[in-house]
Amino acid sequence: MNRWARVRLMGGVLILGVLAVRLGAEPFVEGIRSTDATTLVVALAVTAATTWCCAWRWSLLAARLDVAVPVRTAYRRYYRSQLLNATLPGGVLGDVHRGIDHGRSAGALGRGLRSVLWERTSGQAVQVALALAALLLLPAAVRAEAGWLLLAVATVLVVVAAALPARVRRAVAAELRAVVAARAVLPRVVLASALAAVGHVVVLVVVARSVGVTAPLPELVALSLVVLVASALPLSVAGWGPREGAAAWLFGAAGLGVDTGVSVAVAFGVVSLVATLPGMLTLAGGTQPTTRSPDSTPEEAVHG
């Protein structure tokens, strides 16, 4: 395990450890106990739709990088990557596997990996924009706390981006110009990202109601968007850690209870894991051929 992987795991363990020491096991147990059949069915149905939106986004961006992947193939691979993200340490190994799998089948490993990087980054960018807009739905005091949290998330992501090799940053900068210039593609990427974000919020709101949160819907939607942004931090144990810490912080600031925030986050983690289980159907399948870049070379297959 490399140093960065250890840092990611330690970050998630540290957050969960602090919450467990301060709050005890009850909020975690309550989150699991609050998960009911209706919430699980909603999560399965909504996740099927959000996965399609994300697969569509990936297909659009991969085509711009000349490593096209059909939407149906992208859908199967995306489900698998979500399952791996939710069950393996780090919370991103499924995406790494998806990028390597696609890059090898397309004959351009570097661009295959970066197509996944672009897909996840574009989704997060739209989600951050929605979270910033939703801050207006929060009371002033809670808005300030949420703003600080978003600033902390942005700082971590900037540090992670700065740590990328210079060669990768140059390639990403060049591809950014190509993606932004694609006026026919960019609106669809934004639409797919917005629909996916709405789906995730729906699941989180349903989970919060099952836990017993009675906050007004606009406030709960805003809190959910900020928690979802924080949950994308690459400092987790299979996705656990930042989500629970952010929910504890924000729900406490909103007067809903720190314990309640942890319970909501835990319940959301459980239903999200269950919602990725259809990805098991793709684990037995091998890599399927995708559109190979006509100008790819053996060297490009390594360096992208």
pLDDT in tens, 79-138: 999 999 888 877 788 899 999 999 998 888 988 988 998 899 889 889 999 999 999 999
Residue with the two structure tokens 């930042």 = 242
pLDDT of 225 strictly over 90? yes
Q: How far apart are CA 40 and CA 231, in angstroms?
A: 20
* pLDDT greater at residue 220 or residue 301: 220
Provide the CB-side half-sphere exposure for 203 (13 A, CA). 30
User: Which token pair is 4?
Assistant: 């960065």
Selection from 231, 232, 206 nearest residue 45 by Cα: 206
* pLDDT greater at residue 289 or residue 84: 84
| Contact assessment for residue 106 and residue 69, using Cβ atoms and an 8 Å cutoff | yes
CB-based contacts of 47, cutoff 8 Å, min separation 6: 82, 199, 203, 272, 275, 276
